[in-house]
């Protein structure tokens, strides 16, 4: 199993619009071969000392059966459309692709 944590920093004032577009794409992603989980999350203030909060960041938690399934996901037509729709809403993005040990 492959785990993915993608952090997407939206431009100021664009978080809601980004989430709306992202959520509309979720059903298509969940239908993809190998997709186990695909969930957008935002920071939850907890008061824990090491926690860093950013109200402009959406963290996507993904689980895939294989790296091949993840790679196919990245080039799926609905993902290319999603990237086009959100390109002007995003400041930066980082991705961690992880495997269980």
Model pTM? 0.93
User: What confidence tens digit (pLDDT) does each residue in 38-84 have?
Assistant: 999 999 999 999 999 999 999 999 999 999 999 999 999 999 999 99
Q: How far apart are CA 41 and CA 9, in angstroms?
A: 12
- For residue 46, the enclosing domain spans 2-99
**What is the token pair recorded at 47?**
């008061």
Contact 68, 5 (CB under 8 A): no
**Domains: count for the chain:** 1
User: What confidence tens digit (pLDDT) does each residue in 11-35 have?
Assistant: 999 999 999 999 999 999 999 999 9
Q: What is the pLDDT of residue 31?
A: 98
Q: What is the mean pLDDT of residues 2-10?
A: 98
> Residue 22 maps to which CATH number?
3.30.70.100
């Amino acid at each position: 199993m492959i785990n993915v944590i993608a952090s997407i920093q939206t431009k100021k004032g664009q978080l809601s619009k980004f989430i709306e577009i992202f959520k509309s794409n979720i059903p298509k992603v969940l239908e993809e071969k190998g997709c186990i989980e695909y969930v957008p999350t935002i920071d939850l203030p907890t008061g824990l000392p090491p926690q860093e909060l950013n109200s402009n960041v959406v963290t996507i938690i993904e689980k895939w059966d294989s790296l091949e399934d993840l790679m196919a996901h990245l080039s799926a037509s609905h993902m290319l459309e999603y990237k086009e729709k959100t390109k002007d809403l995003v400041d930066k993005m980082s991705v961690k692709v992880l495997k269980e040990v």
